[in-house]
Structure 1
């Protein structure tokens, strides 16, 4: 048997909370062989990420205590000095973090940040490092890599920022890659490519992978062995095929039963709640379809929306080209309806959502919320409009003030809109409804897991009981069981309040479950739009077919089946200054179902 790349024995991690040590991770023991992939799965807050941070010695000083043994190349990492650990991090162990904006410096270009790693650990010159960075960005499928070298992180979509982090982690070809939810922010086609890339590097370099995820489809696709964690403990360990075929622990059965499966809804017209899962048997009966709440009232109307970003180059940083992020997009959304916006990262989904609330200023078009034209409103009057339209952002940590308790953050919209009298009671109710304890209102964002922070952001968006919610990857960071709870909550609120949702997502199985209609975006344009059942059961555009074919299947015996069509080169949305976008034509497939010709 080969010598493990890393061997973890009796790892215990505790945090100093309210005057005492609180155990978070209990007696974790595992090893990873060369070229092997070990997946750790479990609910948010189960200790998955804390296990990874303990191995990397990245937990805060005196407020965290890590005990046990972590052997890498014969050295116990827990006994190394900080200087010695700095040489290990990035060089021998690479790590892809869950939230890219917490790891990327917002004021430095992405090219400089990756080059810094290469110059520090591989001793490359500035010129050689720049050439290597461009190669790495090409490898993780960043379009026009050389042109984007000098862009700062805010010019990238969430999925593209995650690809930058992957390029940075792989820069020094480490022996071990710790991947903490590395594909959470990515659409299914890019996810497939990233998983292929990780496997390719494993073969070339003998690299091992510790893969932390809540996506059981990804686990089935990439992991040789799987550890299931619950409440800080490993409750089941085994070969991935054995864990899926015959789960022994009730919690493992619950996890597997809660995974949404593409095509499971058939021809039903409306969204469908997730059913409660029996934790003892793991059995579930699919919940009934939600009652039809779609009303004739139009809450949102978007016509011919255009959003573009300038690209500057040269010594004087002149505008030389433009990113056509959103190009002539039109759709309407009624009260009680969910329209899902799907497509690859960088296709313009998030830009569309942000443009609707004028968080990004569109170049042209029309946006009406409850009949009120938004683009003609002075900026000083936008606050009153946002009382009726709220957004749940993709990156929860970036949208929460780290110095503000979560209770204060949730109550802030109520204070701004003169509803402070009921703030305390409302905060407690909202935290309970999104699956958190009301007494957590006194904690700060860094004291929560990524999934818990996303639930806090959902609670804040619901505080003012808006008519329209733009949910930008609002459940992508959640494990399957919590995701089911949050989606059920959103559907229940929609039924009772006739909320309109613009649901931006790359998770096709979730989109199938929650949406009334689906719009597929590609390179800033809607290429297909129609009722959910029509688009999923009778996709017409080649790109829609590619998206559906790339969805991972939660079955290890079918590993690799989803790759068909997933390796096609991504075209660039960057255009010359004199480019004139063609006027697109659409063909009617069936009532309400249109496809771009």
Structure 2
């Protein structure tokens, strides 16, 4: 049975078809030859219905959405088949009429908001433009409507942020701006292309709730493109699974989850981290992986205990405070400060993973950058492998950084596009004068093999690799200096679900063989539960709860910890339609006046090593 045929059956009642796609094929011209990347895709989206297209990078799901919107370059692409919006054929519509359809009847949210927002215009004016282009509305009315939309997607202090620019917003905030812009004209169909991938778990939960609410209120239909099966389970009436440009399985979401037939479907489902899967396990656990061709689960070897029993931690942080001064007025006087990190303390031992979790703006990334002195802390004490980090001069700082390395969220941004990956991996070794060029090449080749790549890839450039492969390259480069500590700053958050599982397994394998200590910064609670020995929850620059992973996850004490866990999408289709009703209270600002004195914080011990901040 085709996906189109299951429309009425899956939703339980006849639904007017908003979008009908038949035999959609998309090809790209490369070196004067046409290469088909999407083949014979057919589906319907009914009124008030959510259809999910799920698959990994390169499966063709985003190309499908861009083909529907006719956003692909005419000179190098060819779209065949039929795309009908309420009985109007879009593929043959004149360009001017298609422009009226885009943003008015069909809106689209992209994964990376910074590429969709104009950096030189305030966000308020950009959203207002989406209104004034399609509606006869005054400037004052447009501004009022924009502020209402910004409040609806939970932008704090929306009225004052109307005139701010995209660079003044965090990644999650920018995505909320894009969602507000997409909803401005109350479209019949919303195409959401990985809209929650880069968002914090609580914000993701709120956006999913918001989309469900808008469907109830506006009768809006949604085509939801994602690789997150937990999100699919919670939002989709029907699901189609794409693999290498083709639909390999389609049907009601419950059938796909409970009776999925294709090996690739089962592989996607098996790689989804499930909150609560680590009950009664004390050590981190590798992710199960399934061969997409055979559907067979690979043999999983248990992780052995790697935590050093030495009393001296490899990393000690005491009362770490990082603030950023705010200057304003004609003379640029200091008028306040962003209290990004406020008196944070913790230890990290050899072979241990301590995860810092929290939402965007809570200070977790600033903590990681402060520890490595990529940002200069305001005060506190940091000891790394015997180095007093706060007192180091420029030369000593270079030496210290051999002991601690960072792996960033976006490997493409941290790799030089003009430098071969062999040169990029060798560079730290040569910069620190640790050996000859041949020794560097040999070590780089060995590390690339260790992270699951081959040495003959060293001549290739970053653009020739997938996102998961680039992250493996970044890990190999971080290991070139034989560090004792690795700060993994959202290192797997942007990866496909099975690639995320592979990279997490790689990190666990490397920890076991090299006795590495990880400071694992993430907002993905299900992944954190799987890879951590201990967990620290951060809120507004402070640690509000810290303890062994089992203690924090099985007995969360702080209200914010419980809120984070309640927001995690659960891959269970029976929860579809359920709204979490996550609090939409305005996020408190970390900006404080010049004379602000932080209150003294006290902690109570719930169990051994499990501390929670006393309100």
Same fold (TM over 0.5): yes
Q: Which residue of 1 aligns with 2:351?
A: 336
TM-score between both structures, scaled by the size of structure 2: 0.87
1:447–1:292 distance in 2 versus 1, CA, 3 Å: closer
Conserved 8 A contact 1:190-1:566: no
Which residue of 374, 395, 399 maps to 1:359? 374
The answer to whether the aligner puts 1:349 opposite 2:360 as a matched pair is no
1:527 CA displacement: 0.4
The answer to whether the aligner puts 1:223 opposite 2:236 as a matched pair is yes
Conserved 8 A contact 1:192-1:563: yes
Q: Distance in 2 between matches of 1:462 and 1:383?
A: 15
Q: Which residue of 2 aligns with 1:586?
A: 603
Which residue of 230, 250, 254 maps to 1:241? 254
The answer to whether the aligner puts 1:529 opposite 2:556 as a matched pair is no
Q: Which residue of 2 aligns with 1:483?
A: 500
Which has the higher mean CA deviation after the structures are superposed, 563-572 or 437-446? 437-446
Conserved 8 A contact 1:189-1:566: no
Per-residue CA shift, 1:97-150, capped at 9, x if unaligned?
A: 222333334455444443443444446555444433332222222222334344
Which has the higher mean CA deviation after the structures are superposed, 3-12 or 70-79? 70-79
Q: Which residue of 1 aligns with 2:535?
A: 518
1:475 CA displacement: 1.2
Q: Distance in 2 between matches of 1:400 and 1:85?
A: 38
Conserved 8 A contact 1:487-1:514: yes
Q: Please show how residues 139-154 of structure 1 align to structure 2 within 5 Å.
A: 139-154=152-167
Q: Distance in 2 between matches of 1:441 and 1:32?
A: 45
Which residue of 554, 572, 575 maps to 2:571? 554
Q: Distance in 2 between matches of 1:402 and 1:551?
A: 35
Secondary structure of the 1:575 match is strand
Q: Which residue of 2 aligns with 1:543?
A: 560
Q: Which residue of 1 aligns with 2:406?
A: 391
1:494 CA displacement: 1.0
Q: Which residue of 2 aligns with 1:26?
A: 39
The answer to whether the aligner puts 1:301 opposite 2:316 as a matched pair is yes
Per-residue CA shift, 1:332-390, capped at 9, x if unaligned?
A: 21221111111122222222222223333333223333232333444576444434332
Which has the higher mean CA deviation after the structures are superposed, 464-473 or 244-253? 464-473
The structure with the larger Rg is 2
1:510 CA displacement: 0.9
The answer to whether the aligner puts 1:7 opposite 2:24 as a matched pair is no
Q: Which residue of 1 aligns with 2:306?
A: 292
Q: Distance in 2 between matches of 1:366 and 1:553?
A: 40
Which has the higher mean CA deviation after the structures are superposed, 40-49 or 460-469? 460-469
The answer to whether the aligner puts 1:466 opposite 2:483 as a matched pair is yes
Q: Please show how residues 181-260 of structure 1 align to structure 2 within 5 Å.
A: 181-260=194-273
Gaps of 5+ in 2: 1-13
Conserved 8 A contact 1:110-1:153: yes
Which residue of 275, 300, 308 maps to 2:288? 275
Conserved 8 A contact 1:257-1:282: no
The answer to whether the aligner puts 1:158 opposite 2:171 as a matched pair is yes
Per-residue CA shift, 1:62-95, capped at 9, x if unaligned?
A: 4444333333344444445665544443333322
Q: Distance in 2 between matches of 1:580 and 1:3?
A: 60
Per-residue CA shift, 1:34-85, capped at 9, x if unaligned?
A: 2211111122222222222333333455444433333334444444566554
Q: Which residue of 2 aligns with 1:179?
A: 192
Which has the higher mean CA deviation after the structures are superposed, 430-439 or 456-465? 430-439
Which has the higher mean CA deviation after the structures are superposed, 533-542 or 218-227? 533-542
Which has the higher mean CA deviation after the structures are superposed, 82-91 or 211-220? 82-91
The answer to whether the aligner puts 1:134 opposite 2:186 as a matched pair is no
1:477 CA displacement: 1.8
Conserved 8 A contact 2:209-2:581: no
The answer to whether the aligner puts 1:574 opposite 2:591 as a matched pair is yes
1:406 CA displacement: 5.2
Q: Which residue of 2 aligns with 1:375?
A: 390
Conserved 8 A contact 1:273-1:290: no
Q: Distance in 1 between matches of 2:358 and 2:229?
A: 21
Secondary structure of the 1:46 match is coil
Conserved 8 A contact 1:306-1:362: yes
1:52–1:432 distance in 2 versus 1, CA, 3 Å: farther
Secondary structure of the 1:486 match is helix
Conserved 8 A contact 1:241-1:556: yes
1:401 CA displacement: 4.6
Gaps of 5+ in 1: none
Q: Distance in 2 between matches of 1:98 and 1:391?
A: 24
> Across the two proteins, how many residue pairs are aligned to each other?
597
1:490 CA displacement: 0.6
Conserved 8 A contact 2:110-2:195: yes
1:232–1:431 distance in 2 versus 1, CA, 3 Å: farther
1:166 CA displacement: 2.2
Conserved 8 A contact 2:209-2:579: no
Per-residue CA shift, 1:436-463, capped at 9, x if unaligned?
A: 6767666665666655554454444444
Q: Which residue of 1 aligns with 2:521?
A: 504
Q: Distance in 1 between matches of 2:309 and 2:288?
A: 26
Which residue of 64, 67, 76 maps to 1:51? 64
Q: Distance in 1 between matches of 2:91 and 2:258?
A: 36
Conserved 8 A contact 1:586-1:595: yes
Conserved 8 A contact 2:189-2:221: yes
The answer to whether the aligner puts 1:326 opposite 2:341 as a matched pair is yes
Q: Distance in 1 between matches of 2:426 and 2:28?
A: 28
Q: Distance in 1 between matches of 2:234 and 2:122?
A: 33
